[in-house]
Amino acid sequence: MRSRRSISDIVAVVLLIVIAIAAAVIIYMWLSGLIGSVHTSTSATQVKLEITGASVTYMPPIGSSPSNYTVTAYVYNPPGSPSTSITLGELEFTNGTVICTNSSSNTPPLKVTPSTITPGGTAKVTFVCGVNSPQPPAGTPVEVILVTSEGVQVTYTTTVTVSTTS
């Protein structure tokens, strides 16, 4: 009789452990669903923009006007990525040195056409920024960096062309 009682104690402990684990899994799944439904706003990890092409033209100073860079980039927002907009454009040398920055609040402002890039859509981003630096040689590698309203940064490496108009 004693051996039966010890087996039932072991079975009872095993059942309690199984019930506790099942309860923990159910609570975890419920909390994961609750947390997942609360954070359904656009996440930076969901935005997957691509720069499909870019050009950078250096305009030497003419008369009293300063030299400037004209940057044009073509951005593609793949299907499945949420609608977004570009809020900041930046031009850097490939070593990380910032050449110039332009946002939608600068003059002249960052121009994005269309202003909101829908999933599967493309946009043309242009900005001009004046600099007081010497003329770079044609073919100098630079990085065009665009930042979305969600804070996602996309980069494209291209080379500088130098304008010959005077």
- pLDDT tens-place string over residues 15-51: 999 999 999 988 888 777 765 555 545 555 577 889 9
> How many Å apart are CA 43 and CA 104, to the nearest integer?
21
pLDDT tens-digit series, residues 59-80: 887 777 778 888 999 999 998 8
Report the SS3 class of residue 138: coil
To the nearest 10°, report the CA torsion of 71, 145, 154, 118: -40
User: Rounded distance, CA 77 to CA 144, Å?
Assistant: 17
